[in-house]
Amino acid sequence: MGLLWEILLSLLCALGLGLLGALLFGRLLRPIPGGDLWLLIPGRGDGARLEQEVRGAMWLRGLGLLNCPVVIVDLGLTGQGRALAFQLLARWNSLVLWPGDHLSELLQTEEHDQQKGGN
């Protein structure tokens, strides 16, 4: 019985070290910390790949590997696609939906916030 516990404890330690190594490796390879970087996810049609792309971006944010605004750019979403985008916005409040033809206004808004002493 003592041998079984030693094996289980060794496996648990190895898994813990592997997880710690993966997290530290991710921190070392982490790109620039944010600044003027924006992640724009194009939304088209019924948003077939939209949820996967947003989930991936939010997963990276959760790991601390992505530190920038995530924006869904509406490039012709249908009613179904827009409904999906609103569901995603409700799930993640840091996500932004923006019309594609007004994208320059989003960037100007961010510059204005920075000049006022914001983020």
Q: Is the pLDDT of residue 97 over 60?
A: yes
Backbone angles phi, psi at 106, to 5 degrees: -60, -45
User: Coil, strand or helix: which one is 9?
Assistant: helix
Q: Are 47 and 31 in contact (CB under 8 A)?
A: no
The angle formed by the CA atoms of residues 36, 50 and 79, to the nearest 5 degrees, is: 115
For residue 110, the model assigns a pLDDT of 60
**Mean of all residue pLDDT scores within the chain:** 83
E-state strands within the chain: 39-45, 70-77, 96-99
| Average pLDDT score over residue span 43-62 | 90
DSSP string computed for 25-57: HHHHT----STT--EEEEEEET-TTHHHHHHHH
Give yes or no for a contact between 75 and 45, defined as CB atoms under 8 angstroms apart: no
Residue 32 clears pLDDT 70, i.e. is over it: no
Does 61 have pLDDT greater than 60?
A: yes
pLDDT bin (cut points 50, 70, 90) of residue 30 is low
pLDDT over 70 at 33, yes or no: no
50 versus 113: the higher-pLDDT residue is 50
Q: What pLDDT is attached to residue 112?
A: 44
The pLDDT tens digits for 85-95 are 999 999 998 89
